[in-house]
Structure 1
Amino acid sequence: MLCLSAIAAPSARAAESAAVTTDHDAVTLVTDQQGWAPGRALGVGLRLKLAPGWHTYWSNPGDAGEPATIAVTASGGGAGQTGTIIWPVPQRLPEGPLMSYAYTGDVLLPLKLVPTAASANDGAPLVIKATAEWLACATVCVPEQGTFSITLPAGPATASPQASPEAGLFEAAREAAPRPSPFAAHIARDGTFTLTGAGLSPTSVATAWLFPASTGLIDQTAVQTPVIHDGSITIPLKPASGFKPDRPFEALVVLRDPAGQQSALTVSATPGMPVPGGAGSTAGIPRMLGLALLGGLILNLMPCVFPVLAMKAMALSKLSGLARREQRLSALFYTAGILVAFGALGGLTLGLRAAGSSVGWGFQFQSLAFVAATCWLLFLVGLNLVGAFEVGGSLTGAGQGLASRRGHVGDFATGLLAVLVATPCTAPFMAGALAGALGAPALVGMSVFLTMGLGLALPYLLFACIPRLASSLPRPGVWMDILKQAMAFPIFAACAWLAWVASTEGGSAGVLTVAAGLVLLGTAAWLFGLSQRLAMSSAGTEGVRGTRFAGFLSLAFLLAALAMLPGLGKASSNGGQNAQASDGWEAFSEPKLASLRQSGRPVLVDMSAAWCVSCLVNERIAFQSASVRAAFAEHHVALLKGDWTLRDEAITRFLQAHGRDGVPFYIYYPAGADGQVWPQILTPNLVLHAIDATRAQ
């Protein structure tokens, strides 16, 4: 028996080298076959049996560590060269504030060797030698190395290979090895990773996560919360200093199905977001444009645009007294103002996105200086409506043609102002169009923004271009002056709202600055109106001097107000902060959301902002109703609120991961189920029905 054991031992050990053993691991070189033949592929690998609590690293070790290296040579009966390591899928191992990508337990790092033989050496054994270095880490890291050797006997080239005892390890490694992705992959400048293609759906993919191929590209400790839809998976990533938004992004993506089976895909993500309809496809563009037109049309009915409705009501009242040509010109100038404003806003947004900034619809209202400037501009419009000063009239009795041209300038300015005030709102149907516009090529994106502007202008265009509609308007009269003055008060109400928005962004100091600017501008408007009246009623040198002096003082007060704008940026950064959630709501964070969902509680996420009037209306009407609050309590719904009043990268990434670029945004996660996006206009019945429907499933 001892003799037989001695004879059998070399054959049994032929496929495994002597081990390098420490307290941390036992490492050997192994093959998947007992012999070799010329031209027949041979599996070679470094096998590490790591002690409990110890690990070694993947090709990208993460925030710390080094990957293993293996140098293999073959000589004797057959020479050959190996390829690179076929890296298995690693684990994510948090280490304090760092994240490592590593292996634990029994792991095989396989390579492929194809021996070749000279005729003089046919039948000789194959000697495989390897030198390897690796790190074994627990609370400390220990660098280790070893030299390994295996001698394989020759076998006939036509015979089937004799499997080694370790062949099962190689077979398991081949089955679990990452394969090239069949899906299109994109990476946006803000780090949003998207996988698109047929076969991706919540029924086939339960969860997904990503390992970057190189270190320094993303914040590897940031939570990855995949959003899975039919045909796409989106994973929001947090770019790091090494992220290059204009270069392909190499990564390993792991998908796990509802049964727990996982598959790993190697991807090379193309810079930019995918255009709806597929990579390089234009099939989704007509749908985007249709949504943009419908969203712009509905934007006329959103609460944000109510202040502008006062000015549009005045404009419509004038149509009935104008000739057909003037009606059309008025509408065209108003439309041109809207399109110019949408084009400028779209160009700025797309430009900032291209530069790597995470911005969305209404982002300009996250600036206290912009909020103050808009408040002051509307205040001047209101003062003009009540008659504090005149704009557009001819002070010198110039001809009707000059007055008409000035009227068209007013139409153009009204269009600009309509867009300025409308941007805090995201109307229904706008969300999909905006998401596509901000992820599409620049030409497509600008087309979406301009189409949205056309939708906003469409009602006014219809009144001007269809004679029957225009003729239905009442004839001009004294009522027009009364209406003009009455329409100032919705404008002043908008100023009060913007002053409140300023309080959330800049605190008491910001409100004081905005209020001081209102006083300065009110004084400037009164002085300007005084100079107009003096110019019309006074004659001689004294009258001219009084007019000029009043005009000079008006300009001085105006410049004093404008000089306060730069200081408002500092007030915003020092005094303002995103409002803290209260009244049963908790502040949103992705770890908090993940924790609540893991605990089995239903969760409602409300993304809003103080400058979003639709958000405030929904909160007042839907969420604060007694029936809804009772339903939240009865079903133990966790309430998370994300405040986007000031710039918040985490909320921006969350919105973009769900295909949104503005607020309001509501998503409800039933216990143990995927999230359900709610409409942007809510009612108590709609909320109650959505909660009850998911409970019944």
Structure 2
Amino acid sequence: AGVLATFLVLAGALLAVRAGGQALGWGFQLQSPGVVAALALLMLAVALNLSGVFHIGAGLQGAGHGPLSRLPGVAGAFFTGVLAVVVAAPCTAPFMAFALGAALFMPWPMALAVFLMLGLGLALPYVLISLNPRLLARLPKPGPWMETLRNLLAFPMYGAALWLAWVYARQTADALALLFGAGLMLALALWLYGRAQAAPGKGRAAGVGALLALIAALGLGVLAGKAPAASPNHAADVHLPSQAWSEQAVQTALAEGRPVLVNFTADWCVTCKVNESMSLSSARTAQALEQANAVYLVGDWTRRDDAITAELQRHGRSGVPLYLVYAPGRSEPRILPQLLTEGVVIDALKDAAD
């Protein structure tokens, strides 16, 4: 339910913005430094909870045997689905590119149906496991191992918080200290809250301190979310000599008889970063680019850019990555796979140079 509801909300937001004449793509929520900062703090809070710093729902577990006693589990499952979609949307875009691109051009009832089916595909494995008694019977019995596993699962969440902090640093100028300060105050607030939970009736001072620390964390978080944009510097990320993408830059290179390799990317796109490190940063790719006398252009979609969004949509895509190879004398570019290999890039450059 959390996955499906969030897919429909994101789809509705995209379609509403589209109806208003603006351009947005899948994963647009991570183009906002405020959203990235909030998600980083949320990941930190989840990690601290898994580490046992504080507990959620402990007071509700003994509040009766009706629906109230089950509320934490249901609510937790729902919002886990919400969080999974919000954070994973940019990473799932490469695998749903054609469906998403088509949906954004369909009438809204058909588009919502496509998004609903995509959400169902994401949620279906979990549903099948939960509904299959044989699979559930194979799960280990409850015991002390569950606490150890819970503590261990905190570390991927710490990693996610660090990754989001890195994305935030790429989007803003000299504001990472604000996010770190917010994280520090949030950790202090949750630690004090945990102390108050451990001593019911005697933790009033800890509770007041937790509230004050939480207010400070929220204040710093708001300031972090309003930080100014940083200038993109993708040339430092990849070893190929690059220029910023623009339609004018493409046409200028083609007018000079030079092929063009275009990389539409974003710092929050994990697939983009893997492709850049494995296929676009090798010595063989650099050699092929030089031999073809090609121009390498990078379109940075880390923060909102309507020109890049329009170009993505023109090629039937709703998100990054997108790789184009233009050849002089050809009207349309060659679209490369979203999961690149070194050989695919080299062959495309050789073909464009012939």
TM over 0.5, yes or no? yes
Q: Do the aligned residues in 1 keep the contact of 2:37 with 2:225 (CA within 8 Å)? A: no
Which gives a bigger RCO, structure 1 or 2 (Cα 8 Å, sep 6+)? 2
Partner SS, residue 91 of structure 2 = coil
Deviations 1:271-311 (A, max 9, x none): xxxxxxxxxxxxxxxxxxxxxxxxxxxxxxxxxxxxxxxxx
1:517 aligns with 2:173: no
Q: Distance in 2 between matches of 1:470 and 1:628?
A: 48
1:526 aligns with 2:191: yes
The Cα of 1:695 is off from its aligned counterpart by: 5.9
Q: Distance in 2 between matches of 1:346 and 1:624?
A: 35
Structure 1 residues 469 and 670: CA distance shift in structure 2, 3 A: farther
Q: Distance in 2 between matches of 1:359 and 1:553?
A: 42
Deviations 1:247-276 (A, max 9, x none): xxxxxxxxxxxxxxxxxxxxxxxxxxxxxx
1:353 aligns with 2:18: yes
**Which amino acid in the other structure matches residue 231 of structure 2?**
Q
* Match in the other structure for 1:605: 262
Q: Distance in 1 between matches of 2:349 and 2:137?
A: 49
Partner SS, residue 447 of structure 1 = helix
Q: Do the aligned residues in 1 keep the contact of 2:325 with 2:352 (CA within 8 Å)? A: no
Q: Do the aligned residues in 1 keep the contact of 2:181 with 2:220 (CA within 8 Å)? A: no
The 5-angstrom pairing of residues 43-54 of structure 1 reads: none
1:415 aligns with 2:72: no
The Cα of 1:580 is off from its aligned counterpart by: 4.9
**Which amino acid in the other structure matches residue 446 of structure 1?**
L
The Cα of 1:344 is off from its aligned counterpart by: 1.5
The Cα of 1:689 is off from its aligned counterpart by: 4.0
**Which amino acid in the other structure matches residue 213 of structure 2?**
F
1:442 aligns with 2:108: yes
**Which amino acid in the other structure matches residue 258 of structure 2?**
R
Partner SS, residue 641 of structure 1 = strand
The Cα of 1:435 is off from its aligned counterpart by: 2.0
Q: Do the aligned residues in 2 keep the contact of 1:425 with 1:663 (CA within 8 Å)? A: no
Residue in structure 2 matching 1:579, options 227, 233, 241: 233
Q: Do the aligned residues in 2 keep the contact of 1:426 with 1:662 (CA within 8 Å)? A: no
The Cα of 1:664 is off from its aligned counterpart by: 0.9
Residue in structure 2 matching 1:654, options 302, 308, 311: 311
* Match in the other structure for 1:373: 38
Normalised by the length of structure 1, the TM-score is 0.48
Q: Distance in 1 between matches of 2:16 and 2:189?
A: 36
- The structure that is strand-richer by fraction is 1
Partner SS, residue 604 of structure 1 = strand
**Which amino acid in the other structure matches residue 525 of structure 1?**
L
**Percentage of pairs with the same residue:** 44
Deviations 1:142-189 (A, max 9, x none): xxxxxxxxxxxxxxxxxxxxxxxxxxxxxxxxxxxxxxxxxxxxxxxx
Q: Distance in 1 between matches of 2:228 and 2:25?
A: 19
The 5-angstrom pairing of residues 84-103 of structure 1 reads: none
Q: Distance in 1 between matches of 2:226 and 2:63?
A: 46
Structure 1 residues 473 and 397: CA distance shift in structure 2, 3 A: closer
Gapped regions of structure 2 (runs ≥ 5): none
The Cα of 1:454 is off from its aligned counterpart by: 1.0
Q: Which has the larger radius of gyration?
A: 1
**Which amino acid in the other structure matches residue 681 of structure 1?**
L
Q: Distance in 1 between matches of 2:60 and 2:192?
A: 16
* Match in the other structure for 1:233: none
The Cα of 1:429 is off from its aligned counterpart by: 4.5
Gapped regions of structure 1 (runs ≥ 5): 1-335, 536-543
1:676 aligns with 2:334: yes
* Match in the other structure for 1:642: 299
Structure 1 residues 671 and 430: CA distance shift in structure 2, 3 A: same
Partner SS, residue 228 of structure 2 = helix
Normalised by the length of structure 2, the TM-score is 0.91
* Match in the other structure for 2:47: 382
Q: Distance in 1 between matches of 2:77 and 2:56?
A: 12
Residue in structure 1 matching 2:150, options 484, 487, 494: 484
The Cα of 1:399 is off from its aligned counterpart by: 4.2
Q: Distance in 2 between matches of 1:481 and 1:502?
A: 32
Provide the alpha-carbon RMSD of the alignment. Answer: 2.1
The Cα of 1:615 is off from its aligned counterpart by: 0.9
The Cα of 1:625 is off from its aligned counterpart by: 2.3
Q: Distance in 2 between matches of 1:464 and 1:570?
A: 42
Q: Distance in 1 between matches of 2:101 and 2:336?
A: 17
Q: Do the aligned residues in 2 keep the contact of 1:337 with 1:411 (CA within 8 Å)? A: yes
The Cα of 1:578 is off from its aligned counterpart by: 2.9
The Cα of 1:567 is off from its aligned counterpart by: 2.8
Deviations 1:455-490 (A, max 9, x none): 111111121122333333333332222121111111
Which stretch of the first structure deviates more once superposed, 427-436 or 655-664?
427-436
Q: How many residue pairs were aligned?
A: 349
- The structure that is helix-richer by fraction is 2
